[in-house]
Amino acid sequence: MPTGNAIQSAFAAAPGGAAGGVLSGTFPNPGFANGAFPSWTPADSGLLAWSHDPVADQGGQALVTAGTLNVAAVKLAAAASVTNIILRLTTAGATLTAGQCFAALYQGAAGVLLGVTADQSAAWVGATGVLTMPISGGPVAAAAGLLRVAMWFNGTTGPSFRRAGNVDDINAGLAAAAARYGTANTGVTTTAPNPLGTLAALSTAYWAGLS
């Protein structure tokens, strides 16, 4: 018959093996199976992560200041290889400067640059809709946790991208440096800053996705 110590050890051991039911993966760190989570997830749309469920989107918002990074935070559930940054263009920009319009991906609170797209000056004055922008030289390896998507333009009129409500409480309870949505470096042209600069909170919740 097992002793008390043996029983305690059995209960203390970390669970192992394949997960089942509404879970997938293996113990001790399974995840929800696709479609089993009680709400819509990025995986339901074939994405790795998004800044928020696009059902909350209400319209578009232009990037106002040339050379300023506009930033949206996303949370990656598990380490992954990221190939694309995805935005939805709602109104084309005008007279954008070639070689000075980009999106970039940053890792963690330290804002380490993971990758940058090719120049988007032509795409951002083109047809509206979902823009899947490959990361140059990608895919890039991203650790689980906080990531930030940044985009900037240079030219006459900035493009507009899909966003949720323009309300102050989208960053409720967060210090400016930890904002979900914000602005960062200014005067940026051809090269993505590394690391990402200090954030200032922004009341525009741009939608961004990763695949």
| pLDDT tens per residue across span 130-167 | 999 999 999 999 999 999 999 999 999 999 999 998 87
Whether omega before 28 lies within 30 degrees of 0, making that bond cis, reads yes
User: How would DSSP label each residue in 131-198?
Assistant: EEEEBTT--EEE-SEEEEEEEE--EEE--EEEE----GGGGTT--GGG-SEEE---S--SS--SS---
Q: Residue 3: what pLDDT?
A: 57
Fold type of domain 46-210: Jelly Rolls (2.60.120)
Distance CA 1, CA 152 (A): 68
Q: What Å distances lie between residue 40 and 32, 34, 37, CA to CA?
A: 12, 10, 7
Whether omega before 54 lies within 30 degrees of 0, making that bond cis, reads no
**pLDDT band for position 7 (cuts 50, 70, 90):** very low
Q: Residue 164: what pLDDT?
A: 92
Q: Residue 82: what pLDDT?
A: 98
Tokens encoding 146: 């906080």
Q: Is the pLDDT of residue 86 over 60?
A: yes
Do the beta carbons of residue 209 and residue 86 sit within 8 Å? Answer: yes
**pLDDT band for position 27 (cuts 50, 70, 90):** confident
Average pLDDT in the chain: 89
Distance CA 165, CA 176 (A): 18
Q: Residue 36: what pLDDT?
A: 59
**pLDDT band for position 4 (cuts 50, 70, 90):** low
Region of poorest pLDDT, from 37-51, 126-140, 195-209: 37-51
